Amino acid sequence: MYIPRPAKLLFTIDDGWNKFLEKFGDSVSPWTKLSVERMLACGTCAMGVRRFCCSSPECSHSRFFCQSCKSKACSSCGFKSTEQWTAQQVHILPDCDWQHITFTMPHILWPFFNNNWLLLNALFRAATRAMLRWARKQGVEIGIFCALHTYGRQLNQHPHIHLSVTRGGLDVKHGVWRSLFFKKHAVEEIWRGAVIRLLRHSYELINPGSLPGLGHIRDKKQWNRYLQAQYGRRWKVHFAKKTRGAWRSVKYLGRYLKRPPVSASKLRHYSGGAVVHCYYDHRTQRYQQQTLTQEEMIGR
């Protein structure tokens, strides 16, 4: 008997995925649609079947295996992909002290990056520029790897960059290893300026006047004035404690890069209706619960 995987239940019960597409299909990217469709077909004949037969000519025994989807939306395939990716990165990255840093921005700026992949990709340059500029002032060449997250623990829109950087590097003049300490205030200031500069130069791409609550922005002058006010807001750049080796950061990022936002275990008992989602709140340092409709959960 075929037993659907837990992650599929959210999309298949009450025909949730097709109903969502009928209502919001125009706003769903082709890549997202393909990922979900592949996930729903994973482990079924729709993905193809392999037949394994006994090598003995006297044995007629054979077994059939449905192929996997290898989609990021699939928690089953994502687990294996995460393990493989983690092993590859740990083998490549140097064994030294690493600093994990999270670059965030005020929530009022989040809508400008919603499904805007040109701006989201540019956030990598904004974050790495902050680190590289500081290191080059010290005459040191550092190592960096980073990942973009477009959602937070509540599965809400929350674009931010996770970056891990070596706590040292090669001396440009002498070619020897030198330890390096990053000043949080200096890095935060460079990051804040880089993001505001990016938005300032993307007026036509964003068209802020068309967004809810921003109808008063009618030209670049008003846009620049608006961004200058956001520059003065509180920007949070979180510095984690330094660790030996990059494997902790790699393992943490791998869970987000190669797996869907919600683990299969959280959907195992879903039987229709509302979804109770449990998440860890950094502000209260406690686990919280939020109740979402099936439509809201699929949308997130």
- Model confidence pLDDT, tens digit, residues 37-56: 988 888 888 888 888 888 88
User: 112-119: which pairs have CB atoms within 8 A and are 24 or more residues apart?
Assistant: 112/199, 112/202, 112/206, 112/208, 112/211, 113/150, 113/159, 114/157, 115/27, 115/29, 116/205, 116/206, 118/202, 118/205, 119/198, 119/199, 119/202, 119/205, 119/206
- What integer pLDDT is reported at residue 1 of this predicted model? 44
Beta strands in 67-156 (DSSP E): 97-103, 140-141, 144-151
Q: How many Cα atoms within 13 Å fall on the side-chain side of residue 230?
A: 21
pTM, entire model: 0.82
Which tens digits make up the pLDDT trace of 97-150?
A: 898 999 999 999 999 998 788 999 999 999 998 788 888 888 899 999 888 888
